[in-house]
Structure 1
Amino acid sequence: MLNFKQSLPFELLVGLRYTRAKRKNHFISFISFTSMIGIALGVWALIVVLSVMNGFQDELRNRILGVASHIEITGFNNRLSDWQTVAKEVTPATPHGESRVLAAAPYVMAQGMLSYGQAVQGSIVRGILPAEEAQVSSLSTHMKSGQLTDLKAGEFNIVLGSDLAMLLGVSVGEKVVLLAPQGQFTPTGVVPRIKQFKVVGIFQIGMYEYDAGLALIHMADAAKLYRMDDQVSGVRLKLNDLFDATAETARLNTQLKGAYYITDWTQQHANFFKAIQLEKRVMFIILALIVAVAAFNIVSTLVMAVTDKRADIAIMRTFGASPASIMKIFMIQGALIGMIGTVAGAFFGVLTALNIDTIVPFIERTFKVQFLAKDVYYISDLPSKLLWTDVWTILILSFVLSLFATLYPSYKASRINPAEALRYE
């Protein structure tokens, strides 16, 4: 052990000794401790908040794309006549290195009014082909009761979102009335088209916008009700990599010849993801200020430590220690304070981020509160996704701020005149 200590640099040995020594001035120790706690809390909060923001972004993307599509191809006036030709043209595998369209499915999209008893609710009505729909969305995996395959042409069956079914007060097996906004002319005037549908299934995506506002029917029934004839609203595409949607959209715009309007999920839902990204950056800046304030408490700690150790500094200078060595001693002392706080904060932050799905429900049960009301927020559970790149960024930022805070007091310590310091000792 002695040999190990002798092999350590002089500045590191003294810096470690000053850090762990019991000082006569307890106020210095208190300020040092609060600096550590402040840095730890700031790092902890940063890791947890960024992990939650990442979780929200992923959860929102997955839930939206579970119902929406990676790419949509529509025609003029939201109508597409030759959807089979379009689907056949875009689905073959592309050369290596390009994004590949895995599946295509037609759809009819319209608005309608659902009525059951005294309850009336507006809804988006989507006409689908169940077999093809299962290839481009995850709706079939979110069925609470019934199956998408229960939607059969000519039987006028309907599948409702869970919240929409609850608002109407309807369950599987009962019948609802669907009113189409497009009217039909009769001798007595224009009347809305009305058709009775049997509820054969209920789905729950976990996103209130869809659970309370989407109804699914067979595409043939939708075409008949909304007078689409052989036309559809468009074709939905699923890619093997959703992040290639923008590039694939550009390629399809070049490949498809005709009056087609092609959009991808980044265009349709850009506001959601831009808002989350902006919030993440703002939260990072705000919480980084907590770390900065705690780090600069190290300045106060070291200034008082330098004042307390003036005699020691003078003695070391008389024994040949250079100003640079004195500066390194106090930089090591301050860096250790920052490092301990950073490591402690990172440990608890990572632990919290990885177990937030257990911690939050426990707090909600204990205090009888709900952080995210289902009818207010798109996502009612608190998700978390820990990215180690975020963790390392926070660790580096915290340590750099702590190291920067040591520069001024360490420099002042190196400028102490030994003769002046020992005059009154």
Structure 2
Amino acid sequence: MSQDVPIKQNKPFGAIERRIAMRYLRAKKSQGGVGLIAAISFTCIMLAIAAMIIIMSIMNGFRDDMIRLTVGSEGHMYVASSSPQPTPESMKEMEQRLAEVPGVDEAFQFNQSYTGVQANGQFSLAQVIGIRPENLKEYDLISDSVTQGSLETFGLGAGSDQTIAIGARLAAGLGLRAGDKLMVFSPRTRTTVTGPQPIKKVYTIGAVFEVGLLVTDQTYIYMDYNEATLLFDGGKLSGEIQLRLDNPDMIDVLKKPVGNAAQEPVFITTWKDRNATTATALRTEQIAMRFIFMIVVIIAAFPVLASMIMLVKNKSKDIAILRTIGASRAGVLRIFFMSGAMIGILGTLAGLIFGILFCLNIGAVQAAIEFVTGTELFPEDVYQLSGGIPAKIVWTEVFGVAFWGFLISAAATFFPALSASKVDPVEGLRYE
């Protein structure tokens, strides 16, 4: 029988080829330790794939939480009139025109001021946001995160009984609870017989909220829009309108329609502009980490390459015998390709399972590591988020990681398998 005529019952990737491939992977230690290297290769690929999934899921979770909390506590788009003295009528008309733009959920006037607050002998800095009660209640992130009091009384009351809403960390830092009094300072002053005196007013805390974003919980105070206008600007309108969109990702598309609807020169900024540093850093980290872990997977494939080279070298006699009894070059290539591919496939599957389970139980894993090491893995003051390490599994990325892991391991396997198929049976048996 010719050496290049395949055995009839040996189908491509059939039972015989698979059995031989599995047998070669279980080579004994006396045969070069191929089995041990194969186990090491499997472990390397598994850990590389799992690490890739875990890191990308944590990055996705961190980015989503930052955007959700930031967008939830702020507007999506901001329109500021260029007029130095906008009138209530002109601002009301612009507000109505912007609210009618397709894709805009609501538009309302607001103002934002940085100032100092004082209570119980403690002083702190805060951002006071003037907003109408009905608009604040539309902020699901705020209204659903009230831990003390209620937004139902927001903006009601006269004098020091007028209610405001305050972040939980700011309240805790000043030793305040719902119903307590808080003094808010204005940058304006009034002239008295003793000289200029800062304008300040006492308010009642009607609601305490905790959204999980450090800057919001630690600095934000919501106050009735008209009251904030009087306190900080002496009744002069800020000329700013905040827009909430149906889809926050449509900000770039809606810039032109919003500008046209304003019917006057305006300055338009978005939530991305106000958080440009954070958004850019998160995106850069995502790209960098994906690139790094792609390289890690490539490095993890080198043990597969080494094990296959050793396997081909140690099995040159077996290859010669297979060729002599009728195995084709393609058959030999498939056998050794399957040997290496099994390592890649099994390592990738194990890495997927381990990585997904790790992400699904990230809270328990974090608690266990913190308990053993005695250190906090996710400091709230550093990462600006509370609630532990976030993780979001994006299944398209998981499948991409699986494909990349298999592709690299298959590439590392193919060339040694091709070399095996070219072994001359005469040379392989010359000295046997």
Correspondence 1:101-140 to 2 at 5 A: 101-136=104-139, 138-140=141-143
Q: Name 1:86's counterpart in structure 2.
A: 94
What do the CA deviations read for 1:15-53 (whole angstroms, capped 9, x no partner)?
244235656436211110010011001111111111111
1:56 alignment partner in structure 2? 62
**SS of the residue 2:283 aligns to:** helix
373-382 or 302-311: bigger deviation: 373-382
Shift of 1:222: 1.0
Counterpart of 1:146 in structure 2 is 149
- Using the TM superposition, name which of 337-346 and 143-152 deviates more: 143-152
Q: Aligned AA for 2:346?
A: I
- The Cα of 1:363 is off from its aligned counterpart by 3.7
| Contact 1:78–1:234 (CA under 8 A) maintained in structure 2 | no
Pick closer, same or farther for the CA change 1:78–1:328 going to 2, 3 Å: farther
Contact 1:45 1:349 in 2 (8 A): yes
Contact 2:32/2:310 (<8 A) preserved: no
Q: Secondary structure at the match of 1:84?
A: helix
Q: Is the 8 A contact 2:115 2:184 kept in 1?
A: yes
Corresponding residue to 1:279 among 282, 285, 307: 285
Paired with 2:199 and 2:205, the residues of 1 have a C-alpha distance of 19
Amino acid at match of 1:126: I
Match for 2:217: what amino acid?
D
Aligned residues of 1:39 and 1:295 also touching (Cα < 8 A)? yes
Please state if 1:174 is matched with 2:180.
yes
In 2: Cα distance, 1:280 partner to 1:333 partner: 34
Mapping of residues 15-414 of structure 1, within 5 Å: 15-20=21-26, 24-25=30-31, 27-76=33-82, 81=87, 82-92=90-100, 94=102, 100-136=103-139, 138-152=141-155, 154-155=158-159, 156-229=162-235, 231-365=237-371, 367-380=373-386, 381-414=388-421
8 Å CA contact retained: 1:16, 1:333: yes
Secondary structure of 1:172's aligned partner: coil
Cα distance in 2, alignment partners of residues 61 and 80 from structure 1: 32
Segment of structure 1 superposing worse, 38-47 or 368-377? 368-377
Gapped regions of structure 1 (runs ≥ 5) = 95-99
**What letter matches 1:190 in structure 2?**
P
AA of the residue aligned to 2:420: A
Name the CA shift for 1:190/1:77 in 2 (closer, same or farther; >3 Å).
farther
Instruction: Tell me the alpha carbon deviations over residues 200-230 of structure 1, each in whole angstroms, 9 at most, x when there is no partner.
Output: 2211111111111111221222111123426
Do the aligned residues in 2 keep the contact of 1:39 with 1:290 (CA within 8 Å)? no
Residues 117-126 or 314-323, more deviating: 314-323
Structure 2 partner of 1:97: none
Q: Which moved more, 1:198-207 or 1:128-137?
A: 128-137
What SS does structure 1 have at the residue aligned with 2:123? strand
Tell me if the contact between 1:109 and 1:126 (Cα under 8 Å) persists in the aligned partners. yes
Distance (Å, rounded) in 2 between the aligned partners of 1:135 and 1:314: 77
Counterpart of 2:5?
none
Q: Percent identity?
A: 28
The two structures have a TM-score, normalised by structure 1, of 0.91
| 1:26–1:317 distance in 2 versus 1, CA, 3 Å | closer
Checking the alignment, whether the CA contact within 8 Å between 1:151 and 1:200 is kept in structure 2 is: yes
Aligned length: 418
Cα shift at 1:277:
1.7
TM-superposed CA distance for 1:390, in Å, is: 0.5
Report which stretch shifted further, 7-16 or 341-350.
Answer: 7-16
Deviation for aligned residue 1:127: 1.4
- 1:376 alignment partner, SS class: helix
Structure 2, unaligned stretches of length 5 or more?
1-7
Check 1:8–1:30 CA distance in 2 against 1; reply closer, same or farther (3 A cut). Answer: closer
User: Structure 1 pair 333/174, CA: closer, same or farther in 2 (3 Å)?
Assistant: same
> One-letter code of the match for 2:188?
Q
| Equivalent-residue separation in structure 1 for 2:415 and 2:256 (angstroms) | 55
Q: Distance in 1 between matches of 2:328 and 2:242?
A: 73
Counterpart position of 2:3: none
